[in-house]
Amino acid sequence: MEEKYRILFAEDEKGLRDITALFLHKNGFYVDTAADGNEASMYAEKNRYDIIVLDIMMPGRDGKEVCKAIRKSYDVPVIFLTALGEENDIVEGYEAGADEYMTKPFSTKLLLVKIKALIKRYHGLIIKNGILKIGELEIEPARRYVTVNGKEAVMAPKEYELLMYFIDNKNIALSRDRILDSVWGIDYEGVDRAVDTHVKKLRAALGAASCHIETVIKIGYMWKD
């Protein structure tokens, strides 16, 4: 990215905090770190960040409390990090205001991809009151709520992640391997046909808005505006 963006990274495990902060710094970000929820809240009150990464289970205020407090002050993309990977935990995380949710252990490369995508989305796509509008399609990232022509488009978490990846990379021909690495993660050991299966499900969920997804012969797919 040409412009340097500022990140708040809050994690109580020092080793993970230091390694991740160094990785993000080397990839062009200004990084402030916090060791607990109280420190994270203090930083967030004093500074304006382009993105905030919060561990949920921190001493003091937990990540959910910090996120809710930040949301009252200004709109900023938030990623939760946690060892809690059950569906109910993930749902509660999104309900608390998270835009993305990563379970530990996590890939720093995948975290970087998600950070760049969220910054790009917030700085270039969200139009009003946290709602992303693309023709007949409306998306509320904080709740992962999608509507087409005013009706809810019900989709599984992976289809939603695929949708947002397409939108973040609009008008770019994306290979199946690239989609797998970015949406499923570089450690995914499945076959690339998984992409086709989920694209089919996504198209079905989007209905009239599925026209944005074009098949690129011998390559993969493209989201066309």
Mean pLDDT of 59-74: 85
Vertex 43: Cα angle to 98 and 28 (nearest 5): 75
Which residue is listed with tokens 């499945």? 190
User: How far apart are alpha carbons 199 and 197 in whole angstroms?
Assistant: 6
Nearest to 116 by CA among 175, 204, 182, 66: 182
The two tokens of residue 129 are 């009151």
Mean pLDDT of 34-53: 92
Three-state DSSP class for residue 160: helix
Residues in a beta bridge with 203: none
> What confidence score (pLDDT) does residue 201 get?
96
> What confidence score (pLDDT) does residue 24 get?
95
Amino acid at 201: K
The structure's pTM equals 0.62
Mean pLDDT of 115-135: 76
Q: Are strands 51-55 and 6-10 parallel, antiparallel or unpaired?
A: parallel
Range with the poorest average pLDDT among 18-22, 86-90, 186-190: 186-190
Neighbours of 214 (CB within 10 A): 12
Q: Where residue 191 falls among pLDDT bands split at 50, 70, 90?
A: low
Q: Where residue 90 falls among pLDDT bands split at 50, 70, 90?
A: confident
Answer yes or no: are the C-beta atoms of 101 and 79 closer than 8 Å.
yes
Residue 72 pLDDT exceeds 80? no
Long-range contacts (CB closer than 8 Å, 24 or more residues apart) made by 37-41:
37/10, 37/61, 37/62, 37/63, 37/65, 37/66, 39/10, 40/8, 40/10, 40/66, 41/66, 41/69, 41/70
> What confidence score (pLDDT) does residue 111 get?
93
Helix axes 108-124, 14-26, angle to 10 degrees: 60
> What confidence score (pLDDT) does residue 85 get?
64
The two tokens of residue 14 are 């020092």
Mean pLDDT of 193-204: 92
The two tokens of residue 176 are 């199946």
Three-state DSSP class for residue 113: helix
Burial class of 207 by CB neighbour count within 10 A (0 to 12, 13 to 18, 19+): middle
User: How far apart are alpha carbons 175 and 143 in whole angstroms?
Assistant: 28
Amino acid at 182: S
Mean pLDDT of 83-104: 76
The tens digit of pLDDT for each residue in 150-173 reads 999 999 999 999 999 998 888 889
Residue 55 pLDDT exceeds 80? yes
Answer yes or no: are the C-beta atoms of 195 and 149 closer than 8 Å.
no
Burial class of 151 by CB neighbour count within 10 A (0 to 12, 13 to 18, 19+): exposed
Three-state DSSP class for residue 87: helix
Range with the poorest average pLDDT among 57-61, 94-98, 190-194: 190-194
